[in-house]
Structure 1
Amino acid sequence: MSRKVYQPAEMNGAFAAARNAGNLDDLLSLYEDDAQLLVDAGGASLTGKAAIATELRKLIELPGTMVSNNTFCVVQGDLALLRADFALRDGKDVVIYSGFTAEIIRKQADGSWRYVIDHAGASRYGAG
C-alpha cells in the first residue's frame, strides 16, 4: 500500500500513523526517490529510499506510540516548510523519546506531497 498526503499540514500525522502501524513501505512512500534524511544534529545524512529505509526500520523498532504535531506549515508554490514536535509514549503516556523535526516537502504531479528533506533534530530519551 502507498500512503499519500494531499494537504501539507497533514504530513507529520501521516508519518506518525505509518510508523505506529509498523509499515515501512508506507513510510517510504512519503519520500521522493532521492530524498535526504538528516539523522542527527551533526549533519549525518542519508540519501535515497534504500538508505532511508535502514533508519526508518530503527524508528519502527522503538517501543511506544508516536504523536507528531505541526508547529508550522508554510506553503510556497509546490514547496512547503514544516516543523513538528514529536514524542513516542508508552501505554501510561510516559515519554520514551521526543524531539522535533524540520522538513521540506514537494507537491507531486498527482497532487500528493512527499519529503525532499527530512531532519529529525534534538531528539532526547526520557521524560522532559
Structure 2
Amino acid sequence: MTTTTVIEPGSALNRAWGDAFNAGDLPRLLEFYEPDAVIVPGPGAEPVRGIEAIEGALRWFLGLGGRLEFGESRYWIVSGDIALGSCAFELVGGHDGDGTPVPLAGVTAEVVRRQPDGSWRYVVDHPFGAGA
C-alpha cells in the first residue's frame, strides 16, 4: 500500500518536486501529475499531455544532471480545489550528452488540483510560463 504525503500548494510542493528531481526519482516525480496533465518540457517547446509524454520529458530533464534549486514561491492563489502558483528555479551543473553545460532557469506558471486524499497534483506545469 502506498502512503500519500499531503503537501499544500506553495513552497513545500516545489521543494518536494525538487527533492524528487535531485534524487533522480522519476517514479516519484510522476506522482505529482494527474494522468492527463500537460507540461511544457523546455523553453519554447510545445506542450505535451499525459503521463507517458510527461515521463519522456522528465527523463530528458533528469538526464541533464545537475541540481535543481527553487526560490521562494512568488504566489499561490487557491480557489477551492484548484491553485495557481509561480516560483523561480535554476538548474545548476546540468549538461547535455556531450558534456556541454545546459544552463536552465525560469519562472514557473503552475496549476494544481487537490486530490480526494488531500494531496495536490499538477494539471498544467509550465516551467518557463511566467517569464523572468
TM-score of the aligned structures, taking structure 1 as reference length: 0.82
Q: Matches of 1:51 and 1:76 in 2, distance apart?
A: 28
Q: Compute the displacement of 1:40 (Å).
A: 4.5
Q: Matches of 1:109 and 1:49 in 2, distance apart?
A: 19
Aligned mate of 2:126, from 116, 119, 123:
119
Distance 1:83 1:42, change over 3 A: same
Distance 1:35 1:2, change over 3 A: farther
Q: Matches of 2:77 and 2:50 in 1, distance apart?
A: 24
Q: Compute the displacement of 1:44 (Å).
A: 0.8
CA-based RMSD of the aligned residues comes to 2.1
Partner of 2:78: 75
Partner of 1:47: 49
Name the % identity.
39
Distance 1:42 1:62, change over 3 A: closer
TM-score of the aligned structures, taking structure 2 as reference length: 0.80
Aligned residues: 118
Which consecutive residues of structure 2, in runs of 5 or more, have no partner in the other structure?
94-101
Residue 2 of structure 1 contacts residue 26 of structure 1 at CA under 8 Å; is this kept in 2?
Answer: no
Partner of 2:98: none
